[in-house]
Amino acid sequence: MKLAAGLLALTALQGAAAFGNVGGPQTARPSSALGIDQFGMTPSSFGMSTATNTGLPKSGWGIRDISADGSLIQRIEGKTRKTWKFNDVSKDRVQVAVTSDGRPVNADIQLWLGPDWTPKTCQAYTEDGELRPIQALVGTRNKEAMIEVRNVGEYTFPCNAACNYAEEEMATIPQDIPASTAGERVDGGALRSFYVDSSVRQLEVVLNTDGRQLNARIELLNAPNNPKQTYEVFTNNGQLNSLCVCFNTPDPGNTVRILNLAPVEFPLNVHLNEIE
């Protein structure tokens, strides 16, 4: 009888342990080290990455890449403009970046050569100047030039801008991307759309021609017909002054839409470079 009672008591204790100490103190599970939550699910169960999100990759397009110490960064109030002068004729590429504290940016970027010649203009818009800053490369044609950035937004929407000569690999991006990608022809008046994979964090885009005029609009869409960022360019020579921009794509589900605004006899070529 004593042996049977002992076995019965041992069985009861094991059953209680199987269901945990109900109402008593709980022992913490070392789940964080294994990436497992309280339901036994890992981040990959929901399509999430276990890697730490460190932000966008550094590719040299940012405003701090142009001016690390901030000396070239200027604040531009609404309805005002700032200019940067470039006199080194041995260089032909200027890097431009325009940002804000999260508010929209509506800017007009112009290239001046001489007292009254503006061979290139680019109207740029972004819904969020911090998440998706305006980032572009402008060719100076190896001449003394001036870059003007005009804030065409209201006075309640100031922005910060910086311009400087592009250095090292940044200076050759307008040639490197067309040389390494097949590209696609877009005839005058035609529209092309390209889906951006969700793994892409930055998208470099080059629009150029064979020397004829370039008049086009490029849009980053994050929902049906919902432009998050837009560039509209005009230049009399799409080879010397190609449109070279970089889109930040922090959210999935992006599409790039390109419209050739020129007549049918002025086709353009589009080249895309995805940075994952």
Note if the pTM is more than 0.85.
no
Task: Specify whether the CB–CB gap between 172 and 179 falls below 8 A.
Answer: no
Tokens describing residue 255: 């599409």
d(CA 125, CA 29): 50
Phi, psi of 208 (to 5 degrees): -145, 175
What pLDDT was estimated at residue 216? Answer: 98
Residue 53 CB partners (closer than 8 Å, separation 6+): none
Identify whether 20 is part of a domain. Answer: no
Q: Where are the beta strands (DSSP E) in 155-198?
A: 159-165, 184-186, 191-196
Identify whether 44 is part of a domain. Answer: no
Residue 176 DSSP SS3: helix
Identify whether 75 is part of a domain. Answer: yes
Residue 163 CB partners (closer than 8 Å, separation 6+): 66, 72, 84, 86, 94, 95, 96, 97, 147, 149
Identify whether 209 is part of a domain. Answer: yes
Q: What is the total count of domains within the chain?
A: 1
What pLDDT was estimated at residue 42? Answer: 36
What pLDDT was estimated at residue 241? Answer: 96
254 bridge partner residues: 196
Tokens describing residue 170: 């940044």
What pLDDT was estimated at residue 189? Answer: 97
Which pLDDT tens digit goes with each residue over 75-87?
999 999 999 999 9
What pLDDT was estimated at residue 187? Answer: 97
d(CA 41, CA 31): 10
d(CA 214, CA 259): 11
How far is the CA of 14 from the CAs of 2, 9, 21, 27, in angstroms? 19, 9, 11, 17
What pLDDT was estimated at residue 90? Answer: 96
Low-confidence spans in the chain with pLDDT less than 50? 1-5, 7-58
Task: Specify whether the CB–CB gap between 267 and 185 falls below 8 A.
Answer: yes
Which pLDDT tens digit goes with each residue over 220-240?
999 888 999 999 999 999 999
Identify whether 17 is part of a domain. Answer: no
Which residue range is the domain that position 229 belongs to? 63-275
